[in-house]
Amino acid sequence: MSHYMRGLVVRSAGAPAEIAELRLPEIGPGQVRVKVRAAGVCHSDLSMINGTLRPPHPLVLGHEAAGEVVEVGEHVTRTKVGDHVVLDWQPACRTCWFCEHGQPWLCSTSSGVAALANGLTLDGAPVHVTLGLGAFAEQVVAPENAVIGVPKELAFDVAALLGCSVLTGSGAVRNTAQVRAGESVLVIGLGGVGLSAVAAARAAGAGKVIAVDVTEAKKGLAEAAGATDFVVSSDNLSKDIRNLTGRLGADHAIECVGRASTIRAGWRATRRGGQVTVVGMGAADDMVQLGALDIFSSARTLKASVYGQADTDIEVPALARDVLDGKLNLDHLITDRITLAEVPAAFDRMSRGEGARSVVLL
C-alpha cells in the first residue's frame, strides 16, 4: 500500500523550495519506514539550492532528522516498530574496503548527494532525495542500517541534531584533531557544526577556545557553547589570534565554513606544527592556494573531517547518553523551532549568518 505525504521539494535548479505531495511506496526487505518527527536545517541542504552543489532534480531536501519507526520490512533485525531513531545519511555497509579498514565514515557504498533508491515519486515521476534520505518530509523509507536507535526519553528535536551537526562538530575535535587538554583551539564559523566544535573543544579541556564569526551577534551563542574568547573575522584575524595565544598561533583551527578564504585564514592563524581541520563542505571550483615553501616551513597539517570521522553506530548512542546524563547541553543550538513551510525563511537566516540551528517539528 502506497503512502501519500508532504515533503519540501526543489523541482529544478534555481527553483524555490515548495511543499508538494509525494508518494512513498511499500517498503522492501531490509527497509524501514520512519515517521519524521524533527529535522534540522543544515548548511548542506542550503548548498543543494544555492549552487554550491549541483544535485539532480526534482529533489526532496533534508537529511538531519529523527523520528519513530512505523513499519519494518522482511529480515529487519536492527529496529522494530515504535523505536525512536536518528537517521544516518552515511550508513556504513560494513563490507567495503573503507569499512573493513576502520573508516566507515568514508563508506564507498553509502548513499551520495542524492538517490532514487527509495522509489519516491512526485506527480507520478521519480524524485531524488538529499543524501539518500529526503528528511524534510512527513515520512522516509530507508535501509535499516540508516537508522540508529536512541532512548525514548531524548527529545526528537535534540535527537535530530545528533545525526549531523553535533556529530560532525564534536567528531572533528575528538576524532580528527584529537584535541588534548591545555591546547588552544580556533573555531571558524558558528553555525550548528561550529558551535558543536566549540563545546567539544571545551569538553576536551582546551586551554583557549577562540570562536570566530563574521558578526558580533554570534558572541552570546559562542559563550553559551563554551568559548573563552570571541573574535569578529577580519583581514587581521591571524594577528588577533596570535595576540590571544602568546604570539604563537592556535594549536588547532577547526574550519566550519567550507571556503578557500576561511581555510587560508585558519592556516595563517595556526602555529608552526599545528593542525587545520576542514569541516565545511565547499564548492569544487573554490581553490585553496598555499605556497610550497609555506607548507614546508610551517610544518602544519591540513586535514578534512568527513562526518566527524565517526562510527555513527557507536557515537550517536554515546552522544544521546551524554545529553540525558547532563554531560552535553545542546539547548543553545536550537534557536528556532519551525514548520515545514518555514524552511525557506530558515535558509534565508542561515545565508545571513543568523542563529544556530532551525529545527522543523513535524
Provide the pLDDT confidence category of residue 328 given band limits of 50, 70 and 90. Answer: confident
> For residue 315, is it within any domain?
no
With 80 as the cut, is the pLDDT of residue 118 above it? no
With 90 as the cut, is the pLDDT of residue 79 above it? yes
Provide the pLDDT confidence category of residue 1 given band limits of 50, 70 and 90. Answer: low
> For residue 310, is it within any domain?
no
d(CA 172, CA 192): 13
Say whether both 196 and 242 belong to one domain: yes
Are 87 and 145 in contact by the 8 Å Cβ rule? The answer is: no
Say whether both 289 and 191 belong to one domain: yes
> For residue 320, is it within any domain?
no
Mean pLDDT of 308-329: 94
Domain end marker among 267, 288, 305: 305
Say whether both 252 and 338 belong to one domain: no
> For residue 186, is it within any domain?
yes
Say whether both 237 and 182 belong to one domain: yes
Mean pLDDT of 260-278: 97
Cell numbers at residue 237, please? 584575524
Residues of the chain above pLDDT 70, percent: 98
When the pLDDT of each residue in the chain is averaged and rounded to a whole number, the result is 93
CATH number for the domain including 174? 3.40.50.720
> For residue 86, is it within any domain?
yes
Mean pLDDT of 191-212: 95
> For residue 343, is it within any domain?
yes
Say whether both 19 and 64 belong to one domain: yes
Beta strands in the chain (DSSP E): 3-10, 18-24, 31-40, 59-60, 64-72, 84-87, 114-115, 121-122, 125-126, 128-130, 139-143, 147-149, 184-188, 208-213, 229-232, 250-255, 270-278, 301-304, 334-338, 357-361
pLDDT at 14: 85
Range with lowest mean pLDDT among 56-70, 113-127, 205-219, 230-244: 113-127
pLDDT at 75: 96
Say whether both 83 and 7 belong to one domain: yes
pLDDT at 111: 55
Say whether both 41 and 129 belong to one domain: yes
With 70 as the cut, is the pLDDT of residue 117 above it? no
Say whether both 225 and 109 belong to one domain: no
Q: What domain range includes position 206?
A: 169-305
Q: Which of 314, 22, 357 is nearest to 175 (CA)?
A: 314
pLDDT at 112: 58
> For residue 162, is it within any domain?
no
Q: Which residues pair with 33 in a beta bridge?
A: 71, 141
With 70 as the cut, is the pLDDT of residue 113 above it? no
Say whether both 9 and 144 belong to one domain: yes
Say whether both 29 and 57 belong to one domain: yes
With 60 as the cut, is the pLDDT of residue 59 above it? yes
> For residue 141, is it within any domain?
yes
With 80 as the cut, is the pLDDT of residue 100 above it? yes
Say whether both 135 and 173 belong to one domain: no
Domain end marker among 288, 305, 322: 305
Provide the pLDDT confidence category of residue 49 given band limits of 50, 70 and 90. Answer: confident
pLDDT at 116: 72
CATH number for the domain including 10? 3.90.180.10
Alpha helices in 26-139 (DSSP H): 43-47, 97-100
Domains contained in the chain, number: 2
Domain end marker among 272, 290, 305: 305
d(CA 227, CA 204): 12
Residues of the chain above pLDDT 90, percent: 81
Say whether both 128 and 175 belong to one domain: no
pLDDT in tens, 130-163: 988 999 999 999 999 999 999 999 999 999 999 9
